[in-house]
Amino acid sequence: MEFTLDPTGRDIHAEAALLRSRGRLTRVRLPGGVTAWSVGGLADLKRLLGDPRLSKDPRRHWRAWRDGEVPDDWPLHLWVSVRNMFTAYGDEHRRLRALVSKAFTPRRVDDMRPWVRRITADLLDALAAGPDEVDLREAFAYPLPIEVVCRLFGVPDDLRPGLRRAVDVIFDTTASPRTPWPTRSGSTRCCTAWSRPSAATPATTWPTA
């Protein structure tokens, strides 16, 4: 029997524990009624992720997608339809991964530490100066990676609110089937506006303390 996931994520840890209790592999129903498999154990997950037969390219390896059984207005459509390193398969995935890995050498990652610490400290200072009760996920856990990514890719300050709004809706599992599509065009406009000046300027160096 399929297990219907809670799209609000109100208690993801309890839900994950329940899924694990159902066995190593269980059938789940995603938002929008699309079914998938949930892997219950870390060892099984590592084995799957390391298996060359596993693919996230729906155009080549998801029969339901190829046969048109997944509707265009599926709330999670953009998660799957996007073409990037995470959905590429085989040689294309290895090619894109090789390009990205050059930006994440141990030395470059170590150079990021001072400004990641500074972002973290600023967020913690804002929490300390705020009310006694806060939403830790909203005020800290979410803005930290968004700010790191924006600085990593040199997203200008004036475009960051638009990028965050786009990310909010794209990853909102409670959105109605029609909600992600207007946001898709919005995020495209945001990325286009960001990429134009960067094409004419030298690569951004890491901020220094």
Query: pLDDT of 99-111, one tens digit each?
Result: 888 878 888 889 8
Q: Is the pLDDT of residue 176 over 80?
A: no
Q: What are phi and psi of 28, to 5 degrees?
A: -125, 155
Q: Cα separations (Å) of 112 from 32, 122, 151, 203?
A: 39, 16, 10, 15
Residue type, 78: L
Instruction: Give the model's confidence band at 74: pLDDT under 50 very low, under 70 low, under 90 confident, else very high.
Output: confident
Residues found in the chain? 209
What's residue 18's pLDDT? 93
Q: Is the pLDDT of residue 135 over 80?
A: yes
* Contact of 185 with 165, CB cutoff 8 Å: no
Average of pLDDT values for 115-137? 93
Average pLDDT taken over every residue of the chain: 82
* Contact of 81 with 58, CB cutoff 8 Å: yes
